[in-house]
Amino acid sequence: MNTRDLDVFVSVYEAKSISKAAKERFLSPQGCSKIIQKIEHELEVPLFARHHYGVKPTPHGDVLYHRAKTVIEALKGVRGDIDGAQVLKTTLTVASTQGISAYLTRAFMKDFSANHPLTSLRVIESPDTIVKARLESCEVELGILGGPIDFSAYHAVPFTRHHPCIVLHKDNPLAAKSCLSFPDLDKQPIALISREFASHHLIVNRLRNSGAHLDIVMEATEIDYCHRLAEENEAIAVSYDFAAWGSVRKNTVIRPFEDRSFVWETFIVHRAETELSAHALAYRRFALEWVERHRERLFTWPHGDSASEATA
């Protein structure tokens, strides 16, 4: 066993539940259970008695808990001593299109810091045009841009994928539909993200190619302002799945597009003629592996009827 295993054991012991501990540790219940089984196998004793309402520590579990707490506290003291030493950290700045940090959640930053304690990560979110300017001026090594990407200018690897969706007032006649087609938005008042974002052009081009006549009444720098206009029944917001469900409002509903091939992709990029530093390479490798490992836990469209209302 290692300190990570002990941390998981302590979480299960204190929560008296594998599922609750798994959620706290950002693990699947199956993964959490396997760690407990691994420790039990190494010690050759049962640590918990399983019940339908959770788990109850055995006497062996009680002993390990107190020992584990001592070990963990001692290691924290060691970490404090190390952090207090004159160790130089490298600051890595990543310029990102807006919304990606909200999608990844704070868990990403915490896990990166735990795995790369000598790299201080700084993320600057802004429109894609500003991200590109920061890359061109060499202010940053790495950027996260929305597609499509100019591969002659950037080396790019796919990072995240999101579905555009619709947020509209619950009294809007279109709210009666479980999902919407592009022609449904013909001549409707539309609010969407500013043209400084690559996703703006992705949305506009797809709608125009469908033959819909666009009536764009608002281009916002913050997608949440578009959601607010939808709540006030002043516009129909074209948003993204994780952003729409991350700020639901009591008078709005969220609808997917019928065309599920309609996706907004982001890429981790750097200038084509440059080579990345070791810290930037480590970040890119960590980010790609982390998202792949946690993708299903970051955002999934809520279970049940796709036409269910998004209530606060």
Strands 142-146 and 215-220, bridge-based pairing: unpaired
Please tell me whether residues 131 and 202 are part of one structural domain: yes
Quote the domain boundaries for residue 123.
88-312
The pLDDT of residue 312 is 29
Supply the CATH number for residue 64's domain.
Answer: 1.10.10.10
Q: What is the pLDDT of residue 25?
A: 83
Same structural domain for residues 78 and 95? Answer: no
Q: Are residues 50 and 97 in the same domain?
A: no
Both 73 and 207 in a single domain? Answer: no
Q: 107-127: b or e for each residue (b if 16 or more CB lie within 10 Å)?
A: ebeebbeeebeebebebebbb
- Per-residue burial over 241-260, b if 16 or more Cβ lie within 10 Å, else e, is bbbbbbbbbebbbbbbbeee
pLDDT at 305: 45
The secondary element (H helix, E strand) that includes residue 204 is helix 198-209
Q: Are residues 108 and 41 in the same domain?
A: no
Provide block-wise average pLDDT over 10 residues at a time, the chain (312 residues): 85 91 87 91 91 88 88 75 65 94 92 93 95 95 94 95 95 95 95 94 93 94 94 96 91 94 95 93 96 87 53 32
Which run of H or E residues covers position 218?
strand 215-220
Per-residue confidence (pLDDT) for residue 87, from 0 to 100: 59
User: Which of 63, 84, 105 is the endpoint of a domain?
Assistant: 84
Instruction: Give the other-Cβ count within 10 Å of 302's Cβ.
Output: 13
pLDDT at 193: 94
Measured in degrees and rounded to the nearest 5, phi and psi for residue 202 equal -60, -45
Please check whether residues 63 and 107 belong to one and the same domain: no
The confidence score (pLDDT) of residue 230 equals: 96
CB count, 10 Å around CB of 226?
24
3-state helix/strand/coil string of 105-137: HHHHHHHHHHHCCCEEEEEEEECHHHHHHHHHC
- Residue closest to 83 by CA, chosen among 71, 75, 91: 75
Same domain, 231 and 302: yes
